[in-house]
Amino acid sequence: MAGELGGPAQVVLTASIARRYYLDGRSKVEIADEFGLSRFKVARLLDSARESGLVRIEIRHEGEIDVDLSARLKDRYGLQHAIVVDTPDDDAASLRGHLGRAAAQLLVEVMTPQDVLGLAWARAVSAMARALPPLPGTPVVQLTGAMSLPGGPDTSVDVVREVASASGGAAHVFYAPFTVPDAATARALRQQPEVARAFAQLPAVTRAVAGVGQWAPGLSVLYDAVPEIDRAELQRLGVCADVSGVFLSIDGEPVATDLSERMIGISAEEMRAIPEVIVIPYGTAKALAVRASLRSGLVDGIVTHTAMAHAVLEE
């Protein structure tokens, strides 16, 4: 190191200047005045300190958030927020719990009394709702019709009511299924007063939380819930992902489908109008769908785990 920086006196000088700059927060002009050097000489010595390894800058967080992966994901896709949780991913229920708590912490940090929260049903969103402390009187809007797994703990209505009740805000809910047999039934349901009132709140939603599914067996609750004819048709149309019922191609482009006309939920255009949509994906088998969602321009934030972040970044 001494050979790269010069003799011993030069090494000590460079180390002293680096200490003033990096640890004491002194400006280059102040350091130059103290040592009787030009500002440009100080800048060159600081560069030499970095290049030689005399100074090493390490950004670390002694917690469960992987700050490096979070920053890389945020920068790669131009996101408002990216939180990558360093947690084992061998148990889906445990993973949902970790990500749900991290997403809840993010909402607590960023939500303001002026915000309106939209929630679309997903298992990870449900986990977040259970971990979420009361928000500041936040109104909560249901974004998708009711869907739950057999034996599951809650529906989209339950999740919205739970969050709104804890926060003391209004709960804009409706009792309608996510999918129905035909488009005429869907149109009629959307005109029902409680459904129409809930969707009339969409322009006020400032932040929303949704799930991501990959259009394949076991990787999307919606895929598993619809008839085989719909599964095959959407595959033929090139659907790769569904973001709480908004269908996307592998490139992130919204895909119009007949199934969309039979659903009671938010559209791609309505989702795009929300200032921040946060997704909570998990399970590396969904990496293609997560990448599509991040390319779509519909998603502005993500809470996920290290294995998923690596899979999405290593395309």
What confidence tens digit (pLDDT) does each residue in 65-88 have? 888 899 999 999 999 999 999 987
Structure confidence at residue 119 (pLDDT)? 95
Structure confidence at residue 204 (pLDDT)? 97
User: 75: buried, middle or exposed (CB in 10 Å: 19+, 13-18, 0-12)?
Assistant: exposed
Closest CA to 312 of 139, 123, 75: 75
What is the dihedral angle through the alpha carbons of 166, 117, 207, 255, rounded to the nearest 10 degrees?
130
CA 104 – CA 129 distance, rounded (Å)? 7
CA 76 – CA 309 distance, rounded (Å)? 11
Structure confidence at residue 193 (pLDDT)? 95
Q: Would you kindly state where each structural domain of the chain is located, as residue ranges? A: 2-52, 67-313
Structure confidence at residue 207 (pLDDT)? 97
Question: Which residues in the chain come in under a pLDDT of 50?
Answer: 1-3
Is pTM beyond 0.75? Reply is: yes
CATH of domain 67-313: 3.40.50.1360
Structure confidence at residue 3 (pLDDT)? 40
Structure confidence at residue 2 (pLDDT)? 39
CATH topology of domain 2-52: Arc Repressor Mutant, subunit A (1.10.10)
